[in-house]
Structure 1
């Protein structure tokens, strides 16, 4: 375990700084602590496709999540000048105001990639076929996680794998979500179902 203390300058983008630092140093780990403020905050709330944007003197209350060689999943909460607190998934566009200090903790253990091979024992009803760096794939997994829905995430990395899932769904866009091995839809259909019954029908 190794600590990393980052001092972010004004006008820096919070999530981009963490992404770039973890990518350039090939790091896997977690956000351990933060002190600082923002002039702008961009977050996504569970079940909501739109990005919520805030401006003003915003004090960071907490920042937690993980980073993996440039891929990040981080939650931000912050307070405005009236001490109203907001929170959600951190998105690009969250800009440092005066300065922010972040403590990251990285680990030496090998990072495990999502693949068919290491998820074959997962007996969940939901299978999500995803593409690397696909924002809609990431949002689908976040939504399932936020509602505690067991799921199997399968990363498509080759034309052969794409053709295989395409033959099952007859769709070209991602993510592709299956319930009990029957094609359900993508992120839009998942979000609509979440608003309908919080995905209880998926459990």
Structure 2
């Protein structure tokens, strides 16, 4: 692992800065630590279609998750001036107030990373997603929350998201949620 200290200036978009860093480094990694504050926090709460946005002097408490050249999956928690704690999935529009210092750990090429990246995925779930689509974000959160591996694939004709299990088209988010409610997705975790 290679640790890289990062300083973000006032006005920097926290998520966009980390996406750009991962793309520039052409490497996958994770956030090791963070200290700083935000003037605006944009985060996704479970069950809501749109991100929640709070403004003010917001102190970052934690930022954890993964980053790669393909994107980031980060969870943010922060406190407002009344010391109420908020949090959720980090979205674009989370702006640094005075500054933020992060330590990002990048995986080195070779070893376990190369071994893990080499095999073609055998995920039983394939999804086609649309950038900025609330239903696509819900689909990813449901699958990630259940710990189900999935592949993102090119979309066919029709609305997104599009979901296939074992090559069979099942529909979109509502159909996936119905399978989850019936307990039908549990078996996908183990084979």
Deviation at 1:47, TM superposition (A): 2.8
Report the equivalent of 2:171: 185
Partner residue, 1:118:
120
How far residue 151 of structure 1 moved from its aligned partner, in angstroms, is: 4.3
2:185 corresponds to: 202
Which whole-Å deviations, capped at 9, do the CAs of 1:121-173 have from their partners, x for residues lacking one? x4x5xx23235x73444552223212x152432423xxxxx5xxx4xxxx433
CA distance in 2, matches of 1:184, 1:198: 15
- Work out the CA distance in 2 between the residues paired with 1:202 and 1:174: 20
- What TM-score results when the alignment is normalised by the length of structure 2? 0.79
Alpha-carbon distance in 2 for matches of 1:80, 1:200: 38
Classify 1:142/1:54 alpha carbon distance in 2 versus 1 (closer, same or farther; 3 Å): same
1:53 is aligned to 53
1:98 aligns with 2:84: no
Name the structure 2 match of 1:153: 151
> Per-residue deviation at 1:28?
1.1
Q: Is 1:172 matched up with 2:158?
A: yes
Deviation per CA, 1:42-79: give whole Å up to 9, x if none: 00122322110000110001001111125111110111
Paired positions, count: 179
Structure 2, gaps ≥5 residues long:
187-191
Change beyond 3 A, Cα 1:4–1:175: same
TM-score (norm 1): 0.75
- The 2-side partners of 1:174 and 1:84 are apart by 36
Aligned-pair RMSD on alpha carbons? Answer: 2.8
Secondary structure of 2:15's aligned partner = helix
Structure 1: gaps of 5 or more residues: 157-161
Matching residue of 2:189: none
Could you say if the C-alpha distance between residues 199 and 65 of structure 1 is closer, same or farther in structure 2, counting changes exceeding 3 Å?
A: farther
- Matched residue SS, 2:78: strand
Shift of residue 175 of structure 1? 2.6
- The answer to whether the Cα contact below 8 Å between 1:140 and 1:190 also exists between their aligned partners in 2 is no
